Amino acid sequence: MTERERQSYFAQMVPLLLQYATLLGYEYTLGDAYRDPRAHGEYGQKGPYGSANSYHKRKLAIDVNLFKNGVYLTETKDHERLGVFWELLGGTWGGRFSDPDGNHYSYGESR
């Protein structure tokens, strides 16, 4: 699969995640998606923000900020239901990272 095809598939997955969040009664705002190399370094380079190999730099990741009844949910466990759903779609959820990042949703390399 080409990078453009991965990006296209990922872009189709994101609305499904957001629709599921709505069905579960969450409100959300969008956090980081694309991290421009002019500000964050090229893929493979450590920039001032984020890892060298960030999927954000490849347009294959998004951070979703969750709210319930107007309260910002900051814990990884708050994202677990969405993370499991995302994994069912074939994505990688940051809540499973060794240093959990619960609001991070990225393309799964198993595709």
Q: Which domains does the chain have, with CATH numbers?
A: 3-106 (3.30.1380.10)
User: Per-residue pLDDT tens for 32-69?
Assistant: 888 676 655 665 556 555 665 778 888 999 999 999 99
Is residue 3 scored above 50 in pLDDT?
Answer: yes
Is residue 109 scored above 80 in pLDDT?
Answer: no
> In whole angstroms, what is the distance from residue 67 CA to residue 42 CA?
32
Bridge partners (DSSP) of residue 27 are 67
> In whole angstroms, what is the distance from residue 74 CA to residue 66 CA?
8
pLDDT mean across residues, the chain: 88
Find where tokens 């979703």 sit: 64
Using CA atoms, how far residue 63 sits from 2, 74, 86, in Å, is 23, 12, 12
Contact status, residue 105 vs residue 86, Cβ threshold 8 Å: yes
pLDDT band at 111 (very low <50, low <70, confident <90, very high): very low
